[in-house]
Amino acid sequence: MSTNLPQNHENQEIDIFQLSKSIGSFFDRVSFSIFKAIQFFIRNWIIVLVLVILGFGLGWYLDSNKKTFKNQIIVTPNFGSVDYLYTKIDLIQAKIASGDTVFLKNTIGISRPEALKKIEIKPLADVYKFIQDREQNLELIKIMAEVGDVKKILEDNVTSKNYTFHTINFVSNTETDEKDIEKPLLKYLNNSAYFAEVQKAEFENLQKQITQNDTIISQINTVLNGFSNTVKNTAKNDKLVYYNENTQLNDIIKTKQNLIIDQGKNRLKLISYDKTIKDINAALNINDTKFTNGIFKFVIPFIFIFIFVCISLFQGFYRKQLLKTQTR
């Protein structure tokens, strides 16, 4: 049994020697291939330089003629139409991704649907207005912050949808104006029979509320004017002390102040209540100058060089095979 040990040891040494020899030959082949590649480019440096210049020039031309424009529309969804708005934008993006230009042109009314490349909607984060509109929102954020990160909560899809303003972003490959995409898009988003009825009812209710509040404020003014006249015409006596201590009068004044604040908010609402999806502002044709838009002038030279190398390799292969057939 001990006589087999030296033989196994010798076999292991032979295996290690062969392995190291194989590794060494592999690196030799790699080094030789790199050397041949360097020789190839040195030998053909004029052709390579010409291809780089031509490719860069062609890429520059293509980059200058292939522009991308960002467009933004700030909207406010009324009457609880936030989910409806997000669903509609997702539907349009799905149609763009599938290349359904018929839907974009016939259903939405976009005259050049092929120009629209992408559309998305994001909330315009305004935490202060979110808290200001409803006091209970502050308490809600406090409770949610106890169990998680405040920033994540504010950016969460459920929370962010409750912000007042949202930004519709769409990308086009040509310059557009309002009638090309913006107006047809807003018309399509507001084309809902259900929300049209809701908008009409909410608008009428708000007008009635404003009229009723004006009447109440006028009645309160009459009461306050009557009290003021009574004070002026009455000599200073114990009755004056009674009026000053009358808590009902303080309640009336406080009610008037709250009504005036509500009237201010209602009149602002009245401006945006004429549409379900109210457009606030739009910024069109913002030239997108990201690096990816100017990539052709860097890619095309490499493509030209790659094609030249492939052709050279094919020629070398063909010559070798031709020489073999001639020597047979």
Give pLDDT tens digits for 119-168: 999 888 766 565 555 555 556 656 555 655 555 555 555 566 678 889 99
CA separation for the pair 87, 130 (Å, rounded) = 22
Number of domains comprising the chain? 4
Give tens-digit pLDDT for 272-292. Answer: 888 999 999 888 888 765 544
Q: Residue 78 is encoded by which pair of tokens?
A: 């009324």
Q: Do residues 165 and 287 both lie within one domain?
A: yes
In a domain, 271, yes or no: no
Q: Do residues 206 and 185 both lie within one domain?
A: no
Q: Do residues 310 and 169 both lie within one domain?
A: no
Domain that includes residue 6, residue range: 1-42
Q: In terms of pLDDT, which residue wins out, 253 or 102?
A: 102
Q: Do residues 287 and 307 both lie within one domain?
A: no
Whether residue 2 is predicted with pLDDT greater than 50 in this model: the reply is no
Whether residue 194 is predicted with pLDDT greater than 90 in this model: the reply is yes
CA separation for the pair 70, 110 (Å, rounded) = 17
Closest alpha carbon to 274 in 220, 223, 216, 204: 204
Quick one: pLDDT band at residue 245, thresholds 50, 70, 90?
very low
Q: pTM here?
A: 0.63
Give tens-digit pLDDT for 17-39. Answer: 666 667 767 777 777 778 888 88
Q: Do residues 166 and 149 both lie within one domain?
A: yes
What pLDDT is stored for residue 1 in this prediction? 46
Task: Write the DSSP symbol of residue 169.
Answer: E
Q: Do residues 214 and 95 both lie within one domain?
A: no
Q: Do residues 255 and 135 both lie within one domain?
A: no
Q: Do residues 8 and 115 both lie within one domain?
A: no
Q: Do residues 148 and 280 both lie within one domain?
A: yes
Q: Residue 276 is encoded by which pair of tokens?
A: 């379900």
Give tens-digit pLDDT for 39-88. Answer: 888 888 888 888 888 888 887 877 666 678 889 999 999 998 999 999 99
Phi, psi of 290 (to 5 degrees): -70, 160
Q: Do residues 217 and 321 both lie within one domain?
A: no
Residues near 100 by Cβ (< 8 Å), separated by ≥ 6?
none
Whether residue 199 is predicted with pLDDT greater than 80 in this model: the reply is yes
Percentage with pLDDT > 70 across the chain = 72
Give tens-digit pLDDT for 213-223. Answer: 889 888 888 88
CA separation for the pair 207, 224 (Å, rounded) = 26
CA separation for the pair 81, 164 (Å, rounded) = 11
21 CB-contact burial (10 Å; exposed 0-12 / middle 13-18 / buried 19+): exposed
Q: Edge-to-edge strand order for the sheet containing 277-287?
A: 116-123, 166-172, 69-77, 277-287
Alpha carbons within 13 angstroms on the beta-carbon side of residue 159 total 20
